[in-house]
Amino acid sequence: MLSTTSRTTLGRGKKRARTSRDDLYAVLDAGLICHLGVVVDGYPMVIPTGYGRIGDTLYLHGSTGAASLRAGGSGGEICVTVTHLDGIVLARSVFNHSVNYRSAMIYGRPRLVEDPEERLAGLRALTEQLAPGQWDAARPPTRKELAATTVLALSLEEASVKIRQGPPVDDEEDYALPVWAGVLPLRTSWGVPEPDPAMTADLAVPEHISSRIVAIQ
């Protein structure tokens, strides 16, 4: 079950709220980037960034010099939102237009990860979220690279999930209008891999990359 704190209990759009942790995991695991919210000098900052999940912990990383991570790492509250836009909901009235989506919001105070093993595990999860298989295929991080990287851990304890699916919901009297109504689905897919022109050897696209091209369709 997901948390029921005031900020994760939906005041509006209750019908779209999910309460199972499996829904949370599914939304997070299907994502590539999140939008990280921090408060800097009293104003909000929303930064697109990568993430990875291990169990009930979300890992974020960044340069040790980044203001956003300094704010997050100094014990302040953060909010992480992952959104999948699945389609545009075309209703018979302008007012009832909507979107189909899956989104997760996580609130909490992140923990600065200092244990070397957990730092590596977190970075691995982050890399694998974007590029499964690459952690083992590419050169591992050096001590210097690790020192330049901040890793934060955010508990998934306080989270909410919202999902909207299906056709528009119109006002009763609008169903008779001669207006086409339905959903225009939005699809995300991988294109053909583009080899780095600077590649010196003639290497084939590895299976762990080429196999993704059909996987996401």
Token pair of 181 as six digits: 């109504």
Q: How far is the CB of 176 from a second copy (least distance, A)?
A: 7
Question: Which CB, 20 or 63, lies closer to a second copy?
Answer: 63
Q: How far is the CB of 104 from a second copy (least distance, A)?
A: 10
Q: What is the DSSP pairing of strand 43-49 with strand 34-40?
A: antiparallel
Distance of CA 8 to the CA centre of its chain: 17
DSSP label at residue 145? H
Question: Which CB, 55 or 185, lies closer to a second copy?
Answer: 185
User: Which residue from 142, 126, 147, 144 is spatially nearest to 65, judged by alpha carbons?
Assistant: 147
Tokens 């995991």 belong to residue? 25
Q: What is the DSSP pairing of strand 149-155 with strand 57-63?
A: antiparallel
Q: What is the DSSP pairing of strand 57-63 with strand 17-18?
A: unpaired
Q: How far is the CB of 138 from a second copy (least distance, A)?
A: 5
User: Which residue from 203, 35, 59 is spatially nearest to 117, judged by alpha carbons?
Assistant: 59
Q: How far is the CB of 103 from a second copy (least distance, A)?
A: 6
Using the Cα atoms of residue 121, residue 126, residue 132 and residue 133 in order, give the sign of their dihedral: negative
Q: How far is the CB of 24 from a second copy (least distance, A)?
A: 16
Q: How far is the CB of 110 from a second copy (least distance, A)?
A: 12
Q: Answer yes or no: are the C-beta atoms of 161 and 109 closer than 8 Å.
A: no
Q: Please state, as a whole number, how many other Cβ atoms lie within 10 Å of the Cβ of residue 57.
A: 19
